[in-house]
Amino acid sequence: MDLPFARSGRSTLGLEWELALVDAHTGDLRSVADRVLEACREAEPSCGPEDEHPFVKQELLTNTVEVITDVCRSVGEGVDQLREVSRLVLETCRPLEVDLYSQGSHPFAPPREQPVTDKERYAELIRRTQWWGRQMVIYGVHVHVGLERREYAVPAMHALTVYHPHFQALTASSPFWSGEDTGYASQRALMFQQLPTAGLPFGISDWAGFETYVRDMLRTGVIDDVTEVRWDVRPVPRLGTVEMRIADGLATVEEIGAVAALTQCLVHRTVEDLEAGRETPRMPQWYAQENKWRAARYGMDAIIILNADGDEMLVTDHLDQLLEELAPTAERLGCEAELASVRDMMGGEVGYQRQRRVAEAHDGDLREVVLDSTERTRRSILGELVGPPAGDFRLRP
């Protein structure tokens, strides 16, 4: 089949932030997405009576909305857009006494009790996936990076997959599930891969191989559309991008900026290597799978496999080396500050670490875990966070 691939500006960005709607006092999930979406639509002058807001979108569950950006030239522009749209969502939530929450999972909500949005495509997903589909009380951050040619898409996908454990460890924020500590840094990583066509991408070699995969999935009824390929890293033909979907939900736009910069730099470097005839990184499928599990289980303490020879290193040590390698790329892209924030995250607490500390400090009360995160999100959206994005925070003077 001939699968068209839209032409995008090199290393342009699009950001997507999934946000749960929670009670401002108890931290319980609130199924009020329809009211929030309607209020956002009414506040947007360009929206007609039947239009949806261009940057605030519906999600699978009625307790969730997704905030997205337009095509952005830089990480800084993307973060600014994300903050601006999120402020609108935050404002619409105030009369409802609802706050915004984004971590990889809600720590105590019963998954099967969460209502699904009344759309046929969501109903079909639940009909097909049954128990697993009803467990998807999970939230993530997605980063799109523009590609000028479709021939770059598969190498870029594989290059990002090499660094899957780095993204997973850095963003892991789902240690709790239905009120229980799972022992994992990211329960979301292993939960989401239970859906058909989710998980790690297959080891296809080029764009023709991706077309063959999509053709076979369509022919056998596994998918109805290419958008139902839900890999952790995937090409997105209609946008002309490669999309990084590894990240658990992140509480702050500062953290999103850091992860976006890391993604943009890795893709940009891969394209430069392709154009210079240099070899691009690739990981054996069995090692990639093991790395994903290790990062989901151990987070920042994961010992990861580096190459086909089986060499290993602590993920934070390798990430530190990677940031040094990417510094010139970040300078060319103008995202030095955002990439440097990755080190701030490494030096503070990432999501799963903070959640466990807050829970312990409050005798295991997981409501406090949610309220701590919503406070961070609110202050970040309002521009009141200072200091490392994943460490302690305080109000601006």
* Exposed / middle / buried, residue 139 (Cβ in 10 Å: 0-12, 13-18, 19+): buried
For residue 370, being part of any structural domain is answered with: yes
Rg (CA), the chain: 20
Is the model's pLDDT at 50 over the cut of 80? no
- Overall number of domains in the chain: 1
Q: Can you give the pTM of this predicted structure? A: 0.95
Is the model's pLDDT at 49 over the cut of 80? no
For residue 369, being part of any structural domain is answered with: yes
Confidence at residue 139, expressed as pLDDT on a 0 to 100 scale: 97
Condensed to tens digits (0 to 9), the pLDDT of residues 294-308 reads 999 999 999 999 999
Strand partners for 325? none
Is the model's pLDDT at 393 over the cut of 60? no
Confidence at residue 181, expressed as pLDDT on a 0 to 100 scale: 98
Is the model's pLDDT at 391 over the cut of 80? no
Is the model's pLDDT at 390 over the cut of 50? no
Which of 300, 302, 297, 322 minimizes the C-alpha distance to 312? Answer: 302
Q: What is the CATH number of the domain that holds 161?
A: 3.30.590.20
Condensed to tens digits (0 to 9), the pLDDT of residues 32-45 reads 999 999 999 998 88
Angle at 142 between CA 288 and CA 120, to 5 degrees: 105
Is the model's pLDDT at 357 over the cut of 80? yes
Contact 389, 376 (CB under 8 A): no
For residue 396, being part of any structural domain is answered with: no
Is the model's pLDDT at 319 over the cut of 70? yes
Is the model's pLDDT at 46 over the cut of 90? no
Q: 118-122: long-range contacts (C-beta < 8 A, 24 or more apart)?
A: 119/58, 122/60
Condensed to tens digits (0 to 9), the pLDDT of residues 11-31 reads 999 999 999 999 999 999 999
Contact 161, 202 (CB under 8 A): no
Contact 3, 211 (CB under 8 A): yes
For residue 322, being part of any structural domain is answered with: yes
Which of 90, 37, 44, 30 minimizes the C-alpha distance to 59? Answer: 37
Confidence at residue 385, expressed as pLDDT on a 0 to 100 scale: 67
Contact 31, 63 (CB under 8 A): yes
Condensed to tens digits (0 to 9), the pLDDT of residues 114-147 reads 888 888 888 888 888 898 988 899 999 999 999 9
Length of the chain: 397
For residue 177, being part of any structural domain is answered with: yes
Condensed to tens digits (0 to 9), the pLDDT of residues 187-242 reads 999 999 999 999 999 999 999 999 999 999 999 999 999 999 999 999 999 999 99
Percent of the chain whose predicted confidence (pLDDT) is above 70: 97
Confidence at residue 121, expressed as pLDDT on a 0 to 100 scale: 84
Contact 147, 10 (CB under 8 A): yes
For residue 56, being part of any structural domain is answered with: yes
Predicted confidence band of residue 47 (pLDDT cuts 50, 70, 90):
confident
For residue 154, being part of any structural domain is answered with: yes
Domain that holds residue 239: 13-381
For residue 389, being part of any structural domain is answered with: no
